[in-house]
Amino acid sequence: MTTGLIDLHIHTTASDGTMTPARMVFHAAGSGLKAVAITDHDTVDGVSEAIAAGKEAGIEVVPGVEIGVDYPGEMHILGYYIDHKNSGLARGLSCLRRYREERNPMMIEKLRELGFDITLEEVAGIAGGNVIGRPHFAALLTRKGYTADNREAFDRYLGAGKPAYVKKDRLSPQDGIKMIIEAGGIPVLAHPRYLRIREDHSLKELIHELRGFGLKGIEVFYPEHTPEETERFYQLASATGLLVTGGTDFHGTNKPGLKIGTGPGDLRVRYSLLEKLKKNIPNPSKNNGSLRIY
Ligand code: AMP
Ligand code: ZN
Ligand code: FE
Ligand code: FE
- Is residue 169 situated within a structural domain? no
Cα-to-centroid distance, 190 and ligand 3 (Å): 6
Q: Is 92 in the pocket of ligand 1 (CB under 6 A)?
A: no
Domain annotation covers residue 205:
yes
Q: Are 248 and 261 in contact (CB under 8 A)?
A: yes
Residue 292 lies in a domain: no
- The pLDDT tens digits for 92-147 are 999 999 999 999 999 999 999 999 999 999 999 999 989 999 999 999 999 999 99
Q: Is 18 in the pocket of ligand 1 (CB under 6 A)?
A: no
Q: What pLDDT was estimated at residue 294?
A: 34
Q: Do 117 and 74 fall within a single domain?
A: no
Q: Are residues 34 and 20 in the same domain?
A: yes
Domain that holds residue 149: 97-158
Considering the domain architecture, whether residues 19 and 83 belong to the same structural domain is answered as: yes
**Considering all CA atoms of the chain, what is the largest pairwise distance in Å, rounded to the nearest integer?**
58
Ligand 3 centroid to 130 CA: how many Å?
Answer: 18
CB 219 within 8 A of CB 246: yes
Query: Is residue 255 within 6 Å of ligand 1 at its C-beta?
Result: yes
**Mean pLDDT over each residue of the chain, to the nearest integer:** 94
Residue 222 CB–ligand 1 contact under 6 Å: no
Per-chain residues with Cβ under 5 A from ion ligand 2: 11, 16
- Let me know whether 197 and 261 are in one domain: yes
Ligand closest to CA 248: 4
> Do 70 and 127 share a domain, yes or no?
no
Q: Determine if ligand 1 sits within 6 Å of the CB of residue 191.
A: no
Q: Are 60 and 25 in contact (CB under 8 A)?
A: no
Counting beta carbons within 10 angstroms of the beta carbon of residue 272, is it exposed (0 to 12), middle (13 to 18) or buried (19 or more)?
middle
This model's pTM is above 0.75: yes
At 118, which CATH number? 1.10.150.650
Domain count, the chain: 2
